[in-house]
Structure 1
């Protein structure tokens, strides 16, 4: 018995085509949604960031102790610029662009970025060259201030990074990680705050997801900058990773004065109370008050003199058209952002036992100790 097989009509074919297309698009969109960069500390994600960083920010001897990146490939390596600054662009898992900044090198100009440690207001302009003025707005609070050396370094890097961010975005990438170890971490604070501001002002697209990892980082600015930065990244978009045996996160040295207090503070009331005392009591109280406050004010003046003006003269030797910026009134440095503390145990102390007459001041600061602790870290 012969049966005639009915051929599908064009309407049926079109219906099946639409159904398959819908299913395919739904599967792709679901997959992409599942792959989006997520807030919160991701140990495996950050370990990959350290593996990337070790390829260009660590000595060859120590880099051998860190595994190669597992799921990332290098897209771009910048030329050396600014204060011996350098960055690399990697693509992680074929979906996340990693903008990784190099730490301090052995060059004197690289150390200049660390030593140029006076604070400048977190909103303003750096006149770097005749045709290079870096306008920045890193925090809303009027008393917020940041490390000028890291800000200057970030200015050079941001100029090179932004076209690459634009290229990545046009290629469909929406997830970006800004990261750096040591000096690279200090600079990454500046870059992260700068990019977030550009995004708020519509210069960077609103649908970019930006995550910031700073590790072994020096302190980036004062308490008001920390407040603002933590407010901007409060939903789990920044983490600062620190080994407790590392001395670098305790720098720059901080000096707090009454000028660092909010507008409403007890200092005016105290001064007014002193004025109301009898002559001899007033004399004694003023003497005590001056002895309590004068040393810190003197220390800030010395900061401005040596880590501000004196260092700026050396910066001008590299960049003759650089105009020294006005400095903030204080030097109250604090750590900023969500903290991930790597706490060494006995096995760490045995593995990284400081040898006698050790001259390696970066013994606990380099990437191998951080990677070792991170492998054992339980979040």
Structure 2
């Protein structure tokens, strides 16, 4: 790979700044690509400014996406990750990976209505074409044949329906639209210290704009993979709180709300067990967590803090037994909402050199 880039920033007018950036890359396996970005900001006065950006992006397939292989077996099922160029993956309908390309737009404003109040709002749209996903799920005799072509085998007696295989593929194109709003406000309480209040909220929605097909005409994205791309991430997230400082003491508290997520989970019991077409829709309800920290400046270079993330020890919703293999899995691993480890408590010592 070889690459070169250029970046130029200029003030077209005293209150108008424009930035240009361009990059050229050459890959030995996927060819040449050109990407660029144009950003602009105009400050009407010290109270109000607007800004916007237009850019495009490029991402070549990674070595892992092209060549990673793995097989997981148990007494009752087997699952294989096949390299996209392997005989087994080609038998299932795989084709060589193409690079991802994206087009991005963002626009927003900055508002300072008071000396101590700062507000920002940014809206964005990200369109990704030929997105590389771990898709194309197959099971039954097709999966067993693919494994055999790659020199792998499964234990005797396993139901063919419980044998599955998949590979990385340019499975879909997506469009993500969202908005970020942030605000900070400083309060001076005199001899009782100063507090910086802050709040931030994010709204995000991702949709599929195109779904690819394998060499046999089968969809490369099933309902489970579509949910992972579109609804496994919270549609909204809210954070608010404040940080207080008085002399050598400081403290902060923040409340965080994660919106709900929705997944399509594999059945491990019943008539749809191990199906790659029928899934259980599972909703992780919204969750609130609290983060706390109290600190003290021991010396000009040493700071000590005692704190907790998720002080209330909140957990995601528990999985029903039908979608928990042998009732071992407790939580939805597809969901990108609340972590699965509960509260985290710490004592931290910082050294500033």
Note whether the superposition's TM-score is higher than 0.5.
no
Please report the TM-score for the alignment, with normalisation by the length of structure 1: 0.19
The structure richer in strand per residue is 2
For CA contacts below 8 A with separation 6 or more, give which structure has more relative contact order: 1
Please report the TM-score for the alignment, with normalisation by the length of structure 2: 0.20
